[in-house]
Chain A
Amino acid sequence: MAKIWDFHGGIHPAEHKDLSLQVPLRQAPLPAYVVLPLQQHIGAPARPLVRVGDKVRTGQKIADRQAGISACVHASISGTVVAIEERPIAHPSQMQDMCIVIESDGQDTWVERAPLINWQSANAETLLAHIKGNGIVGLGGAGFPTLSKIQSGRAHQLDTLIINAAECEPYITADDTGIRHYPQELVTGIRILQRILQPQQTLIGIEDNKPDAIERLREATIGTNIEIRVVPTKYPSGGEKQLTYLLTGREVPSGGLPADVGVLCQNVGTLIAVARALVQGEPLVRRIVTLTGHALAAPANLEVRLGTPIDALLRVAQLDPQKLARLILGGPMMGFSLPNAQVPITKTSNCVIAGTLQEFPSAAPEMPCIRCGMCEQACPASLLPQQLYWFSKAKEFDKARLYNLFDCIECGACAYVCPSQIPLVQYYRFAKGEIRKEESEALKAERARQRFEFKQERQAREQAEKAARRQGKTASAVQMEPSVQKAAAPASTETLDLKKLKIQLAAKSVAAKKAQQALTQAQEAGASAEELAELTKTFQNAQQEQAQAQSAIAQATETPTATQSPSPDVAELKKLKIQLAAKSVAAKKAQQALTQAQEAGASAEELAELTKTFQNAQQEQAQAQSAIAQATETPTSTQSQSPDVAELKKLKIQLAAKSVAAKKAQQALTQAQEAGASAEELAELTQVLQEAQQAQSQAQAALEQQQVPKTQHIQAPPKAADAHLKQLSVQIAVKKVAFRKAEQAWQQAHSSQQGDLDVLEAHMLNAQEALHKAQAELATYQAQQSSASNKQVTQDGDQHLLKKRKIAVSVAQAAVRSAQKRLDNLSEIKDTPSEQLAAQQARLASAQAQLAQAQDALAQAASTRTQEIS
């Protein structure tokens, strides 16, 4: 007899299993209609393939899986699709979800089945494709798509396949019945999985309270390498982590999966479904459901078509509504109670308990905890439920977390034994929910911050580009005045810029290399999928930045010659082309990342994130393309035109691009709304839309401003300085609009108490800051202008440089200050991940370095100037 590792704790609640075992398994009568939720599994909901009015046959695929973690849905009866709409589903939060409703034609006509003839010789990919195509998910608990589970298992070094037949919850006998009625199918299912996974050992874990099922299994597994391990009856031996320990002595690491210790668990019902799908070509359209409880006159196990309303089943089991006090879906320990029976059976519904008041008396009043420690003795996770309870109650969530709240499997053993009748699990759920909420808020704020910083960076970049362009123009203008040329030549700004860019490139390359190293290390150390995704993202960002830096250098090296050449448009065109190339690379990379994530079975959220990145990249690419197209159209004409006209064109192009972006965002939002996206996603999209709209209006404002001065320009030929002044004022106008909008949004949110106030506030403050900066810049520039006009032209260049350096210093100072502030904020928030802190520290350091650089440059310029003056 193989060793059984007993786990800590556990309880022995009254079993009540024989209630539903008095009669053999039978088929439930065909329902008049079925309600098939699009999401009966963990992951992304399936996408409907049918429309209202369509005729469908049993087994027809009516909703297709999405990429990543998802599963398809098949019609469980033949008939007509009468609705695709939100219907109440069986869910603890009593929510509604999109469902396909099929009215039966009473015929149960099947589609042509497509079994896999000779699965014994098929390769793993073919087998997996069939599992995928038949919509199979874990029938035991949460409904994790079987394909994804196997795939993630294959990514690990698996040596053990465990078949979970423990069925430790009281009342439920669905797996027991499945084993006794379909032992051959079960064994076939196991062998299919063995073929895919090639495990060294295959163990069936079953509790010793099912002697019949054990006997059947013994008979069916003769001549196979499947071992049956009978474990003592103790709740919750059927928990994945507990069963893994019981059979192998290995503990699934906290936050990990059984696959991390080389184990994959599959439930009995799932394997029977796999066998049916492959051997008989029958997609997942039915399952065994235990109907039990003392309010039923005829409790039984029924083979039920998915989507059958529970009240129809209760009628079959002869419910006495007078007696019914509590309706539970699942077991009495972990199942949830239903307020009514008008919800459908789904892939994960294994048991319906119609309980009387005697069976489930209403909860006794909660008494004070007497620290008896019974909860601790019952906890299968070796937690201290009592302490968790105190912390949850006192809302000391960080302490609860420290006491490993998230290792609680919510088995309910502690609450079962608590003599003070404290609903412990409820406290844990509350605490977990609060912690998750806090986390997601922090994450949202962080994302918003990142987005904002990115925007700021982009704006700064654009500004810098503009400035460079302007300088190029002034430089060419200055060329005509030989005296100035002499002064400017020794300190050629271009070479300086180039140097800076090269330094930047080096820094970025180092960062990219480091990110790659971190990623490799994490992979070797077996980090969690989430962590890996995070690191991958960091790495990609670093790569992208490196690429950007490279292209900037390329640009810079090209500009000197370009500026000398008479036609600025050619240079412009080149720049645009380089940009396009960079954008294409970025888009390609984003696509790759997305595909990889899909294959690796990333979470829906991550996928959405990546998809968005990809779309953004695509969009930017398209924008760059259209810009080029516009630029190439006008090269000859622009030459003759004044610079303002060129500017105007550019602005027009920008406006067009922004409008396109806004339209796209709007479309995405509408689509998401139709597809019934989550509130969070919708909010996200709405925000994107608003940003796009804002950008559009900004572009418009800029265009209008540009058009007004243009008429003036024609009357009075412009000076370069004037142009700069104007630009600055335009910027201020734009910033003002942005600030006002942010303010409005905040006020609205504030008065309606809706939306993310913190984020909006941050937006507003940032906009304000940007506005102030722009104003300051204008002021300095004006001061500089007025003083400059009094001085000699020879000094003008140096003076200009000096001023610029000064501005640079003050900007760098501001950057340092804000970085410092952010760091302070971060470190004030408890539980800020240390990486985040470190990242912010690094940011501060780099800002400081830049400040030092700027100061150096200023000192240099100042000394040159004094030398020259003397």
Chain B
Amino acid sequence: MSLLAPSSPHAHRPLSTSHVMAQVSLATLPALGVLTWLFGWGSLINVMLAVTTAIFAEALILKLRKRPWRILMDNSALLTGLLLGLSITPLAPWWLPVLGAAVAVVVAKQVYGGLGQNPFNPAMVAYALLLVSFPLPMSLWPQPLSLQAEPWTFWEHLTHTFTGSLHAIDGYTGATLLDAFKHKGALTAEEFWLQTPVAQAVLNATTGVSLAYLLGGVYLLWRGIISWHTPVAVLASLLILAAFFYGADPSQYASPSMHLLVGAGIFSAFFIATDPVTSATSHKGKLVYGAGIGILVYVIRTWGNYPDAFAFAVLLMNFAVPFIDYYTRPRTYGHARAQRGIK
């Protein structure tokens, strides 16, 4: 009798990287459903385009780099495409998600050496690039279906995506609600809501989407796929800042609930900031990292030039991750204090 003698531990938790990625992907499905239900087929088409491109690009690069095929099974390209497709406007022409997904996989991930090596969140790199390069198509959001007289069918939408030649729908061209709010001019908050009856409908729709993301996030927490530290830190810091300024001058600043529910707040807190590869490692580090994102988001939203700021906030904090990691090392058992900093 002669057996293999692998070393300990011999037991392993039945949870693999591809499993983790698949779970996260699964958790976005409610939101994808709600988006499609409230805003039409655009998001679904985006997601399909982005995912296909991402997987294809990954396969191509793996072949060029002569890496084993099984890496494709880690589902990370799938997830990157999915997240990008979800964050792009449903009215996007086809090349936006395609270009974005290619950039995300090739430039933001594989160029750095593949999964685990990339310092920046690939989906957010792509999103930021698109936003800077093509600000107009990127910020053109449709009105909720409830306000549209004649919603597009799937085929109509598909035609629009690929040719852009279809008749225009009643696009809510003021970009997102947050952007509209920021450019309300001399109006007070009260007047803004009165002025724009459409806003109420949009608010309801985006709230629905945010709640769907929240559902997915809670699922991930429950499954132990993500830890609570990052999302809680992001949302708490954002809310505290919003509450402070809103309390100081409710007529000028958006309310905390608006910051929470409108825009990509919950989506980013649960799905983007928690990206394991590009976030801080320790619990404490995750709190710092998350809080940094929340603060940056508020600052850019309120005083910056971009309507929503998650991509930039996340990328900026990605920069800071090595630094955060150095300074938030946990205290090892049996040591009087934690070691800090670079030695």
List residues of A whose CB falls within 8 A of some B CB: 7-8, 11, 13-14, 92, 94, 170, 241, 245, 251-256, 311, 321, 324-328, 330, 332-341, 353, 355, 360, 362-365, 367-373, 376-377, 380-384, 386-387, 402-404, 407, 410, 412-413, 415-417, 419-421, 423, 425-426, 429
Q: Could you tell me if B332 and A377 are in contact, using CB atoms closer than 8 angstroms?
A: no
Across-interface contacts of B336 in A (CB, < 8 A): 253
Across-interface contacts of A410 in B (CB, < 8 A): 8
User: From residue A712, how far is it (CB to closest CB) to chain B in Å?
Assistant: 69
Out of A8, A92, A256, name the residue touching B7 (CB < 8 Å): A92
User: From residue A233, how far is it (CB to closest CB) to chain B in Å?
Assistant: 15
User: From residue B113, how far is it (CB to closest CB) to chain A in Å?
Assistant: 9
Which residues B3-40 have CB closer than 8 A to chain A?
3-13, 15-20
List residues of B whose CB falls within 8 A of some A CB: 1-13, 15-20, 70-71, 74, 76, 114-117, 227, 276-279, 281-283, 286, 325, 329-336, 339, 343
Residue of B nearest to A423 (CB): B7
Out of B70, B116, B283, name the residue touching A377 (CB < 8 Å): B283
Residue of B nearest to A399 (CB): B343
Q: Could you tell me if A256 and B5 are in contact, using CB atoms closer than 8 angstroms?
A: no
Out of B19, B115, B333, name the residue touching A380 (CB < 8 Å): B333
List the 9 closest pairs (A to B, CB-CB), nearest first.
Answer: A412-B9, A372-B276, A254-B334, A368-B116, A337-B5, A332-B11, A332-B10, A381-B333, A404-B332
Out of A7, A333, A381, A425, name the residue touching B332 (CB < 8 Å): A381
Q: Could you tell me if B1 and A376 are in contact, using CB atoms closer than 8 angstroms?
A: no
Q: Could you tell me if A419 and B19 are in contact, using CB atoms closer than 8 angstroms?
A: yes
Across-interface contacts of B18 in A (CB, < 8 A): 367
A407 CA / B332 CA spacing, docked (Å): 8
Q: Could you tell me if B20 and A421 are in contact, using CB atoms closer than 8 angstroms?
A: no
Q: Could you tell me if A382 and B332 are in contact, using CB atoms closer than 8 angstroms?
A: yes
Out of B276, B277, B281, B333, name the residue touching A8 (CB < 8 Å): B333
A252 CA / B332 CA spacing, docked (Å): 11
Across-interface contacts of B16 in A (CB, < 8 A): 364, 367, 419-421
Across-interface contacts of A256 in B (CB, < 8 A): 334
Out of A254, A337, A384, name the residue touching B335 (CB < 8 Å): A254
A489 CA / B5 CA spacing, docked (Å): 82
Out of B2, B12, B115, name the residue touching A415 (CB < 8 Å): B12
Across-interface contacts of B117 in A (CB, < 8 A): 368
Q: Could you tell me if A360 and B11 are in contact, using CB atoms closer than 8 angstroms?
A: yes
A410 CA / B7 CA spacing, docked (Å): 11
Extra contacts besides A253-B334, A362-B4 (7): CB < 8 Å: A241-B334, A251-B333, A373-B227, A376-B330, A383-B330, A421-B17, A429-B7
User: From residue A418, how far is it (CB to closest CB) to chain B in Å?
Assistant: 8
Q: Could you tell me if B10 and A384 are in contact, using CB atoms closer than 8 angstroms?
A: no
Q: Could you tell me if B331 and A382 are in contact, using CB atoms closer than 8 angstroms?
A: yes
A353 CA / B12 CA spacing, docked (Å): 16
Across-interface contacts of A311 in B (CB, < 8 A): 1
Known contacts A251-B334, A381-B333, A404-B332; A370 and B17 CB within 8 A of each other: yes
23 contacts between A and B (CB under 8 A): A7-B333, A13-B11, A94-B5, A245-B333, A251-B333, A251-B334, A252-B334, A324-B1, A328-B10, A337-B7, A337-B10, A353-B10, A363-B12, A370-B115, A373-B286, A380-B333, A402-B339, A403-B339, A407-B332, A413-B9, A420-B16, A423-B7, A425-B8
Residue of A nearest to B224 (CB): A374
Q: Could you tell me if A370 and B9 are in contact, using CB atoms closer than 8 angstroms?
A: no
Q: Could you tell me if A425 and B9 are in contact, using CB atoms closer than 8 angstroms?
A: yes
User: From residue A680, how far is it (CB to closest CB) to chain B in Å?
Assistant: 24
A8 CA / B4 CA spacing, docked (Å): 33
User: From residue A823, how far is it (CB to closest CB) to chain B in Å?
Assistant: 24
A14 CA / B20 CA spacing, docked (Å): 20
Known contacts A333-B10, A367-B17, A417-B15; A339 and B5 CB within 8 A of each other: yes
A204 CA / B145 CA spacing, docked (Å): 67
Interface core residue of A13, A254, A372 (most chain B CB under 10 Å): A372
A170 CA / B7 CA spacing, docked (Å): 16
Q: Could you tell me if A370 and B116 are in contact, using CB atoms closer than 8 angstroms?
A: yes
Across-interface contacts of A353 in B (CB, < 8 A): 10
Q: Could you tell me if A336 and B281 are in contact, using CB atoms closer than 8 angstroms?
A: no
Known contacts A370-B115, A402-B339, A420-B17; A376 and B282 CB within 8 A of each other: yes
Q: Could you tell me if A407 and B7 are in contact, using CB atoms closer than 8 angstroms?
A: no
User: From residue B292, how far is it (CB to closest CB) to chain A in Å?
Assistant: 17
Out of B7, B9, B17, B331, name the residue touching A419 (CB < 8 Å): B17
User: From residue A58, how far is it (CB to closest CB) to chain B in Å?
Assistant: 30
Q: Could you tell me if B10 and A376 are in contact, using CB atoms closer than 8 angstroms?
A: no
Helix, strand, loop or mixed for chain A's interface? loop
Known contacts A381-B332, A384-B330; A14 and B5 CB within 8 A of each other: no
Q: Could you tell me if B10 and A355 are in contact, using CB atoms closer than 8 angstroms?
A: yes
Residue of B nearest to A327 (CB): B3
Across-interface contacts of B19 in A (CB, < 8 A): 419
User: From residue A424, how far is it (CB to closest CB) to chain B in Å?
Assistant: 9
Known contacts A333-B8, A335-B8; A325 and B3 CB within 8 A of each other: yes
A14 CA / B14 CA spacing, docked (Å): 11
Across-interface contacts of A381 in B (CB, < 8 A): 332-334
A371 CA / B18 CA spacing, docked (Å): 14
User: From residue A314, how far is it (CB to closest CB) to chain B in Å?
Assistant: 10
A380 CA / B116 CA spacing, docked (Å): 24
Q: Could you tell me if B334 and A336 are in contact, using CB atoms closer than 8 angstroms?
A: no
User: From residue A788, how far is it (CB to closest CB) to chain B in Å?
Assistant: 62
Q: Could you tell me if B2 and A416 are in contact, using CB atoms closer than 8 angstroms?
A: no
Known contacts A251-B334, A382-B331, A384-B282; A336 and B5 CB within 8 A of each other: yes
Q: Could you tell me if B334 and A373 are in contact, using CB atoms closer than 8 angstroms?
A: no
Known contacts A92-B7, A256-B334, A423-B7; A384 and B13 CB within 8 A of each other: no
Residue of B nearest to A261 (CB): B334
A402 CA / B332 CA spacing, docked (Å): 11
Across-interface contacts of A368 in B (CB, < 8 A): 17, 71, 74, 114-117
Across-interface contacts of B331 in A (CB, < 8 A): 382
User: From residue A796, how far is it (CB to closest CB) to chain B in Å?
Assistant: 64
User: From residue A137, how far is it (CB to closest CB) to chain B in Å?
Assistant: 22
Across-interface contacts of B15 in A (CB, < 8 A): 417, 419
Out of B76, B278, B281, name the residue touching A386 (CB < 8 Å): B281
Across-interface contacts of A402 in B (CB, < 8 A): 339, 343
Q: Could you tell me if A13 and B13 are in contact, using CB atoms closer than 8 angstroms?
A: yes
A337 CA / B1 CA spacing, docked (Å): 13
Across-interface contacts of A325 in B (CB, < 8 A): 3
Residue of A nearest to B329 (CB): A384
Q: Could you tell me if A336 and B11 are in contact, using CB atoms closer than 8 angstroms?
A: no
Q: Could you tell me if B116 and A369 are in contact, using CB atoms closer than 8 angstroms?
A: yes
Across-interface contacts of A417 in B (CB, < 8 A): 13, 15
Q: Could you tell me if B10 and A371 are in contact, using CB atoms closer than 8 angstroms?
A: no
Known contacts A368-B117, A387-B281; A326 and B20 CB within 8 A of each other: no
A94 CA / B5 CA spacing, docked (Å): 10
A426 CA / B9 CA spacing, docked (Å): 9
Across-interface contacts of B283 in A (CB, < 8 A): 376-377
User: From residue B74, how far is it (CB to closest CB) to chain A in Å?
Assistant: 6
Q: Could you tell me if B12 and A416 are in contact, using CB atoms closer than 8 angstroms?
A: yes
A215 CA / B329 CA spacing, docked (Å): 42
Across-interface contacts of A170 in B (CB, < 8 A): 11
Across-interface contacts of A355 in B (CB, < 8 A): 10
A334 CA / B10 CA spacing, docked (Å): 8
Q: Could you tell me if B3 and A340 are in contact, using CB atoms closer than 8 angstroms?
A: yes
Interface core residue of B10, B70, B71, B336 (most chain A CB under 10 Å): B10
Known contacts A333-B9, A337-B10; A383 and B332 CB within 8 A of each other: yes
A328 CA / B6 CA spacing, docked (Å): 10
A367 CA / B334 CA spacing, docked (Å): 32
Across-interface contacts of B4 in A (CB, < 8 A): 326, 337, 339, 362
Q: Could you tell me if A407 and B335 are in contact, using CB atoms closer than 8 angstroms?
A: yes
A252 CA / B335 CA spacing, docked (Å): 9
User: From residue B82, how far is it (CB to closest CB) to chain A in Å?
Assistant: 16
Residue of B nearest to A422 (CB): B17
Known contacts A373-B276, A419-B15; A324 and B3 CB within 8 A of each other: yes
Residue of A nearest to B274 (CB): A372
Q: Could you tell me if B116 and A371 are in contact, using CB atoms closer than 8 angstroms?
A: yes
